[in-house]
Amino acid sequence: MIIRVLGSGDARVLSRVAADVFDNPINAAWTAEFFADPRHHIVVAMDNDLVVGIVTGVHYVHPDKPPELFIVEVGVAAEYRGRQIGRQLMRAMLDHATTLGCHEAWLGAEEDNAAARRLYAAVGGQERAMILVGFEL
């Protein structure tokens, strides 16, 4: 198993992804846009040339705060779960965020997603109360 931070020239790595790693099929135009933006980041777990896990994130700055990383999505193929791949992916993304100068990383999780909450706690995450507000556009 290889854990790897992908760069701007690595979009082709996503041509072979296990079926349940992402929520939806990969879109070529959105993939190109993702890799063209230096604030978008992805760490992958690879079994040979098959992507079996991912963590995606975006780092950002704000006028009154140091850089932060928002972790957008974590996914590991069902047949690869239970092997601590999620922990390796999260640690790699958090390490990457540190190299970017981020002072904090954060994410949202569904309250009933016990497996995800255990993963985040295992890599040092601390839960905080929050209300999620969505806007359909």
**Nearest of 116, 122, 91 to residue 4 by alpha carbon:** 91
With cut-offs at 50, 70 and 90, classify the pLDDT of residue 132. Answer: confident
With cut-offs at 50, 70 and 90, classify the pLDDT of residue 66. Answer: very high
> Which residue ranges form the domains of the chain, and what is each CATH number?
2-122 (3.40.630.30)
**Nearest of 119, 107, 99, 122 to residue 71 by alpha carbon:** 107
Q: Are strands 2-5 and 40-47 parallel, antiparallel or unpaired?
A: antiparallel
Residues 83-115: pLDDT tens digits?
999 999 999 999 999 999 999 999 999 999 999
Amino acid at 116: A
Least confident segment among 4-13, 43-52, 108-117? 108-117
Q: Is the pTM of this model over 0.85?
A: yes
> How high is the pLDDT of residue 33?
96
